Chains A and B, each alone.
Chain A
Amino acid sequence: MAGAGAGMSVIRVGHLYPEYLNIYADRGNIAVFARRAAWRGHELEVRAISLDDPIVPGAHDLYYIGGGQDREQLLVAANLAAKAEPLVEAVIGGGAALLAVCGGYQLLGRGYRGFHGEHMPGVGLLPLETVAGTRRMIGDVLLDCELEPGERRTLAGFENHAGRTKLDPNAVPLGRVVAGFGNDGESGYEGCRIGRAVGTYLHGPLLPRNPWLADWLLAQALAHRSGGEPPELAALPDELETRAHEVSTARAHARGGRS
């Protein structure tokens, strides 16, 4: 049935290393993509891209990479770096959407130096570098974002990272930190985005209580699928999502991390 009606599509998701990078409820993010796509009549087809699988530009409309501990990150870092070229081509050249959370976010930069000094090569897709610090940045966090000009939205989540991420001078952050630490605890910015790719430290998981970002990414993925503009997705009754967002926002204001 899927794909039969007008405007219905199969959204092809490439989930990178799901068996290694899954520490902060990453499957919650995938579930949100799947349900919110289905409620609009689209089908989400999620395929794992693991150690032995190639990345084939054009084969996926949306990539997802989640978080892991340093140990798991170390296990996949070299493998991912070896696939940098097709991944950059798929996302930057080909316009596929991408969401990278926490550890995955770090690995999409140029590199990550872990807590024990071990160096992990990065993909170089996001213009940033990360070095592990001694004090972990842990707590509720709130961001002010403007992904589309004039449309300001907030993202509420939880962060837990030792890595300090430094954006290149011309890089575009995902948002401004309203409460919490953000990329490095001092720049006042969190995350990074380029084209249809978004990287962030926010988990919690991120998408259930911030469904607007899930919809934005789904629309980008549909644009990749169709080769046209991102479609306007039908509004959904997001009462529970709004309540969860409000509680999380209040938490960030009350007890978000301070540098």
Chain B
Amino acid sequence: MTVPGKLISRLDPAAIDRLAARLAAGVAVISATNGKTTTSAIAAEILRPRFRLAHNHSGANLVSGIASTLLAADGAELGLLEVDEGALPEVLRRVRPRAVCLGNLFRDQLDRYGELELVAERWRQAVAELPAGTTLVLNGDEPQVGSLGAGIVYGLDDPSVARPALQHAADSKYCIRCGSPYLYAAAYVGHLGDYRCPSCGHARPALDVAARSIELHGLESVAFDLVTPAGTQRVELGLPGLYNVYNALGAAALAQALGASLDEIAAGLARFSAAFGRFERIPVRGKQLLLLLIKNPAGANEVVRTLVDGGPPAVAVLALNDAIADGRDVSWIWDVDFEPLLERLETVVVSGARAAELALRCKYAGFDESRIVVEPSLGHAVDRGLALTPAGAELVVLPTYTAMLALQRLVAGRGLAKPYWERAA
């Protein structure tokens, strides 16, 4: 799919600039470590009635994938582009976006990007060089993002759903200006929250778009008051977890910046169903597979938290691959707080190319070795998991990126589900 994109971006790097320039309503860009696919899928659902979109919905978010999307987008009015956080500076320079939504920076694939701080620095530079007319939509709860510039700031405003303390994996917990530890009035997801530096005063900016009175409905959904300059509306989202409240807020704030009304936003959120693979239920032989992507400590912690809050299963399959798209360095699994889930599991099936490493993660968490099933083959692991799952129940599978793609192919190959590209986007 990205072969033409690769070709064109190699033969004529400036082609993307021209392809972007022909979009009458301009280009909107979304980037973040976690949630960019979901955020852009929600934004697409909100904006679709208003614009014909050029949207890289399959998650092809590098320069070549964006070139492909733009190339194939005959007749589109608005480019809605999910962009890899490493590719963001080049894409911003080329497409000269009308609006940019920046969500978060978490420790992820350090083997590919180098240090988090380097990515943050490149973002700061890229944002500083944006055209004057570009609207910034920023997650104010993220210290690295909230102070990138003047723009529309979104965030959570409901300390009742905050975590009691910063998680082990919290990344940017020291003031980006002076280095002192931030104080958090509320820490929501990783280092995202209502922070303030006691030394220099650097603090979360005032929120323009906020979520209040948040209700988390286990593995099913969330509901919250969407507070915007145009008014407040109670909204429901068919996705679980606090991290998806951030995704919905980012999408809502971006859509509003692009002219969508509050009613259009609420209607779009109501229509939205899970973006491919990020959260999926697949029926298999009278049972159900629940696939929850894990890829870095912050994201995996939220998946664990959501699972535990929603009534944890007795069996789970964890699948760890170490291809480039997963991160070749698997050390991040040791920074995930798997313990609350492991404490409630009867059996854990570990799978993927680095199944043995996952087995060690569970063993050294104190999980009884006799209840760890090591099955590197994904197909066999799912079979083992299903056999241990009672009829009518759900098998939870937590795969890394390439393991998730392999699982989807596998399930599709057995005629059990359609691959994502054949489903309605």
Contacts and interface: CB of A to CB of B under 8 A. Distances in A.
Interface of A: 19-20, 22-25, 27-28, 31-32, 35, 69-72, 74-75, 136, 138-140, 158, 160, 162, 203-205, 208-209, 240-241, 243-244, 246-248, 251, 255
Counting chain A CB atoms within 10 Å of each CB, the highest count among B116, B181, B322 belongs to B322
Contacts of B168: 22, 27
Contacts of B333: 25
Contacts of A241: 360
Contacts of B181: 19
Contacts of A255: 328
Given A23-B110, A140-B328, A251-B322, A75 B179 contact: yes
A243 B372 CA distance: 14
Contacts of B361: 28, 208
The 8 closest A-B CB pairs, nearest first, are: A25-B334, A28-B334, A243-B356, A244-B356, A25-B331, A69-B115, A208-B360, A31-B364
Contact of A240 (B322, B360, B365): B360
A140 B364 CA distance: 22
Contact of A244 (B107, B174, B335, B357): B357
A24 B335 CA distance: 8
B334 A70 contact: no
A28 B331 contact: yes
Interface residues of B, number: 35
Given A138-B111, A208-B360, 9 more contacts: A23-B107, A28-B361, A35-B363, A35-B366, A75-B174, A160-B111, A203-B329, A205-B331, A240-B372
Given A23-B110, A69-B115, A244 B360 contact: yes
Contact of A136 (B107, B114, B372, B374): B114
Interface of B: 107, 110-111, 114-117, 168, 173-174, 179, 181, 322, 328-335, 353-354, 356-357, 359-361, 363-366, 369, 372, 374
Contacts of B332: 25
Contacts of A162: 114
Contacts of A138: 111, 114, 329
A24 B116 contact: no
A204 B330 contact: yes
Contact of A35 (B353, B357, B364): B364
Contacts of B360: 208-209, 240-241, 244
A244 B355 CA distance: 8
A204 B335 contact: no
A69 to B, nearest CB: 4
A80 to B, nearest CB: 15
B364 A247 contact: no
Nearest to A237: B369
A35 B364 CA distance: 7
Nearest to A25: B334
A23 B374 CA distance: 27
Contacts of A209: 357, 360
A241 to B, nearest CB: 6
Given A23-B107, A71-B117, A158-B329, A240 B334 contact: no
B41 to A, nearest CB: 31
Contacts of B179: 71, 74-75
Contacts of A240: 356, 359-360, 363, 369, 372, 374
